[in-house]
Amino acid sequence: MRLVTSLIALAMAIGAVVLPGAADAAEPPALTASFAPAALGSLAPGQDLVLSGTITNSGDQAIPAGTATVTLDRTAISSRTDLAGWHDSDSTLGDEKLGTRIFETGTPEVPAGHSVPVVITVPAAAVSLSAQSSWGTRTVAVTARSGGSVVAQARTDIVWAPGGPVSATGLAVAIPLTVPHPATGLIPADLLASYTGIGGILSHDLDAVIGRNIAIGIDPMLLASIRILGDTAPPSARAWLSRLEGAPNDTFALSYADSDLAGANQAGSKRLLTPTGFPIDPTLFPGAATASPSPQTDAPTAGPTPTPTPTGEPVSPLPTPESLVAWPYTIDKIGWPADDTVAEADLDAFDSFGLTTTILNSSNVSYTVNYAPSAAATIDKHRVVVSDNTLSSLLRSAAGASSQLAWENAMVRLSGSIAVVGRERPADSRTLLATLGRSVTGTEPRLSQTLDALATLPWATPSTVAAIATAGEPISASVTAKPVPAARLAQIKALLTSEAQVGNFSSVLADPSLLTIERRLGLLALLSNSWSADDSGLAAASAKYLTRSTTILNSVSIAESSSLFLTSQNSPLPVTVSNKLPWPVTVYVGVRSPTGILEVLEPRVELTIEANSQAKASVPIRSVANGEVLIDTTLSSATNVPIGTPVQTRVEVQAGWETAFTAVVAALVVGVFGFGIWRNIRKRRKGKEAAGDGESGDEPDETPAPAGAPETPAAETPAAGPPAS
C-alpha cells in the first residue's frame, strides 16, 4: 500500500509540473492579419489583384512560416447590410464559405511581439473576372496557416470595374469647424495662435477643405473669439479668418460653441441658447470712439434747437454682440444636433427656434423602404437632411487613420459601400451625405488624403448640402427616438438651473450683464459636442461651473446675529449685510415678526453695499409689548428675487424699561430742584430769626431792607478822639 501511495503521489507531482506546460503549448497563438487591395479596391480586367498587409504576433512565441490563401466571392454584394456583416464578423470561416480559392503563397515566420509586412500579388488570370462580369463589390479573404492550422484571417473587398457605365451616387460632405473642449465660451489668444498657426487644428481643417465641394459648419465662437481681441488678435488668427472669408465653400452656422441642441431642449430649455453679450474691452479698439457733439451756447435761439453735429474725424463704433458673430452664410437656418440624440419632439422645438432644416444621422431615422434613399427627407412637416451613418463612420475612420494600412482599409470599405448603393437601384440616382464627427475635429491626420481619394471614385459624384436641403420631393421618414442619455441630461439640467439662478440673482447689480454674460458663455462651452469623448473632463469642468455659481449666489448675505436686545418702543432694528462681489449691489431688507410683540413699520428697506464690504440697514419697528420674538430677516432684489438665505434672529423686547427709566429721571429732576428751593427758603428764615434776636437800645434803629434788595454795608462810625481845640 505504501508503494501504491508513493506512485500516486509521484504521478500527481509530475502532472503538476508537466500539465501547465502542456496547457501553454496548446494555447492558440495571438495572431492577427490585415490586408487591403491596391487602388482603393478598384480592379479592372487585366489587372493583378495586389493585396498589401501585415501579420501581427502579439503572443510570446514565434509563429513559424506558413501559407496564405486568397479566396474571392465572384458574386457581387447586393446590400450594404451583407457587406457590413462580412466586414464586422469576428468568426473564422472555412474556405468553402469564403468563395473560390484563387491563390496561395508562402508567409514568413512572425517573431513574438512583432508585425511582418506581407504583399500578395494575385495574377489577373487567377481572378477570373471578365469584361462581361457585372460591376460591383466582391468580397475577398486572406487566410493565414501555420503548421496546417488557421492562425489568422483578414477580410476585405474589391469593386470590379470592367470599364462600362456605372450608376454613380451623389455624395455631399459636411464638416464642423470647431475646437476641442472650450472652457469659457471664448478662446484665449494663446490658444487661438496655436490653433490657427502652422499645423494647428483650425489651419489643418481649413487647408483640407477650402476650395473643395464641401460644406463647412462654422462655430460662431471662432468668429467672436478672434474679433473681440481687436488689434491684439494673433496675426495667424486674423490671417486664418481672412482665408475663411474668401473660401468659396458652402457655409452654415453651428450653434454657439457647437452646443448640444437636443440635450438642451430635452433638459428643459425653451429657447435656442445663444450668448447674452460679450465682455468687450474698449481699450482693444483704439480706433473706436464716441463722437462728441459741438458745444452749444446758452443764448436763446429763434426756432427749433439745431441738432448737434459730431466734431473731429469719422470714428468707427465698438463691435456689437451681433457684429462679433455675423457671417454671410450660404445655407441659412440649419440645425445640426449631435448624432443619435434626437427625439421627435425636438424637431418641433427646433422649428420654433427658427431652424427650418435639421441634419440627422440615419441611425436616428426610419424609412419604409429597404434601400438607402437620398439624404433629403421630411418628418411630418419638418425638413431634414439625413447623414448616412455607414458612410460617415467610414469617412471618419479614414480621416483619422493612424497608419497607411488602416487608411487603405477604411477607404476600401467606403468605396465598396458607395458602389453597393449604386447597384441597389441602377435607375434611381440618389444623393447621400457623409459628415465628420464633433469630437475629433482638427485631429484627422488624413483628411486631405481622404477627400482627394473620394474625388477619384468613378461611382461617386460630388454634390452639396445646399442641393440636398432644397431638393424637390424628399422621401417621407420618421424619427427613431434616441434621447440623450439620462446621466448627461441630468448634468445639463443642473447647468441650466445654475445659470438661471445666477441670472435672477444678477438683478442686485446695476448692470446684470456683469454676471449673466460670463455665466451664459460658460454654459454654452460646457454644452459643446466636442466634450462627447471626454466624460471625466466634462464632469470636472461642470463641477467647477456649478461651484462658481454657488459662490456667486452666496456672495450677498445677512450677517447672522445670535440675539438682539430692544429697550425702546420705536428704536430701529439694525441688519448688517455683506457683499463679496467686486461690484456694488442694491438689495431690499425685509423683516417679518410672527407675533404682535413687534410691529414692522416698513416691510422693505433699500440698502446699497459697496464692493467687498458691509453695510447696515435700519428697519423701522414699534415695540407693542415685552417678550421674546424670533424674527425672520430676508433679502431680495429690486425684482423681488430672493437673495441669499433667510436668517432668524432672537430679539428680547423690554420696551417698558424706557417708561420706567423716564419716570425715575423725572423724579430725580423734581427732587433736585425741590430740595434746592426748600434749602433756600430755610436759609432765609434762619437769617431773619438771627436778626431778630440781636436788637438793643444802644444800637441804632435799623429798618430792614426789602426782601431781595441788595444789602448795603453800615456806615463806619469814626473812633472817639480828643475834642478839637
Which pTM value belongs to this model? Answer: 0.82
How would you label 255-269 residue by residue, b for 16+ Cβ within 10 Å and e otherwise?
A: bbbbbbbbbbbbbeb
Task: Quickly state the pLDDT bin for 706 (edges 50, 70, 90).
Answer: very low
Residue 158 reports pLDDT greater than 80: yes
Residue 697 reports pLDDT greater than 70: no
Task: Quickly state the pLDDT bin for 53 (edges 50, 70, 90).
Answer: very high
Radius of gyration of the chain (CA): 47
Higher pLDDT, 506 or 8: 506
Instruction: Please state which architecture CATH assigns to domain 28-164.
Output: Sandwich (2.60)
Task: Quickly state the pLDDT bin for 295 (edges 50, 70, 90).
Answer: very low
Overall residue count recorded for the chain in this entry = 725
The confidence score (pLDDT) of residue 23 equals 36
d(CA 45, CA 160): 8
Task: Quickly state the pLDDT bin for 651 (edges 50, 70, 90).
Answer: confident
Inter-residue contact 436 to 399 (CB < 8 Å): yes
For the stretch 395-411, pLDDT in tens is 999 999 999 999 999 99
Which amino acid appears at position 115 of this protein?
Answer: S
Same fold, 28-164 and 556-657: yes
Residue 305 reports pLDDT greater than 90: no
For the stretch 520-565, pLDDT in tens is 999 999 999 999 889 999 999 999 999 999 999 999 999 877 677 6
d(CA 559, CA 504): 22
Task: Quickly state the pLDDT bin for 90 (edges 50, 70, 90).
Answer: confident
List Cα–Cα distances, 418 to 49, 158, 165, 461, in angstroms: 20, 12, 15, 10
Instruction: For residue 356, give every residue at least 6 positions away whose Cβ sits within 8 Å of its Cβ, in sequence order, or none.
Output: 332, 333, 334, 383
Tell which residue, 40, 46, 38, 67, has the closest CA to residue 55: 67
d(CA 383, CA 329): 19
Share of the chain above pLDDT 90, in %: 69
Task: Quickly state the pLDDT bin for 442 (edges 50, 70, 90).
Answer: low
Name residue 471's beta-bridge partners: none
The confidence score (pLDDT) of residue 567 equals 66
Q: For the structural domain made of 556-657, what CATH number should be given?
A: 2.60.40.10
d(CA 252, CA 249): 10
For the stretch 22-48, pLDDT in tens is 333 334 557 999 999 999 999 999 999
The DSSP output letter for 230 is G
CA angle 677, 683, 686 (to 5 degrees): 145
Task: Quickly state the pLDDT bin for 691 (edges 50, 70, 90).
Answer: low
For the stretch 492-516, pLDDT in tens is 999 999 999 999 999 999 999 999 9
Name residue 158's beta-bridge partners: 138
Task: Quickly state the pLDDT bin for 717 (edges 50, 70, 90).
Answer: very low
Tell which residue, 349, 366, 329, 146, has the closest CA to residue 266: 349
Task: Quickly state the pLDDT bin for 15 (edges 50, 70, 90).
Answer: very low
Residue 630 reports pLDDT greater than 60: yes
Q: Which of 36-50, 113-127, 208-222, 294-308 has the lowest mean pLDDT?
A: 294-308
The confidence score (pLDDT) of residue 104 equals 97
Q: Which of 93-97, 312-316, 431-435, 568-572 has the highest mean pLDDT?
A: 431-435
List Cα–Cα distances, 330 to 213, 216, 253, 535, in angstroms: 13, 10, 9, 34
Residue 720 reports pLDDT greater than 60: no
**Strands 475-476, 376-379: pairing kind:** parallel
The confidence score (pLDDT) of residue 608 equals 97
Mean pLDDT of 436-461: 89
Higher pLDDT, 148 or 404: 404
Dihedral sign from CA coordinates of 163, 169, 170, 175: negative
In the three-class reduction of DSSP (H, G, I as helix; E, B as strand; rest coil), residue 154 is classed as: strand
The mean pLDDT of the chain is 86
Residue 485 reports pLDDT greater than 50: yes
Mean pLDDT of 640-645: 95
d(CA 392, CA 397): 9
* Residue ranges covered by each domain of the chain: 28-164, 170-287+320-479, 486-553, 556-657
d(CA 449, CA 404): 10
d(CA 273, CA 256): 8
List Cα–Cα distances, 663 to 555, 568, 623, 667, 715, in angstroms: 47, 14, 19, 6, 54
Share of the chain above pLDDT 70, in %: 83
In the three-class reduction of DSSP (H, G, I as helix; E, B as strand; rest coil), residue 670 is classed as: helix
Task: Find how far residue 543's CA is from the centre of its chain.
Answer: 12
How would you label 384-394 residue by residue, b for 16+ Cβ within 10 Å and e otherwise?
A: bbbbbbbbbbb
Task: Quickly state the pLDDT bin for 160 (edges 50, 70, 90).
Answer: very high
C-alpha cell at 7: 506512485
Instruction: Please state which architecture CATH assigns to domain 170-287+320-479.
Output: Alpha-Beta Barrel (3.20)
List Cα–Cα distances, 553 to 527, 580, 617, 644, 697, in angstroms: 22, 10, 20, 7, 103
The confidence score (pLDDT) of residue 496 equals 98
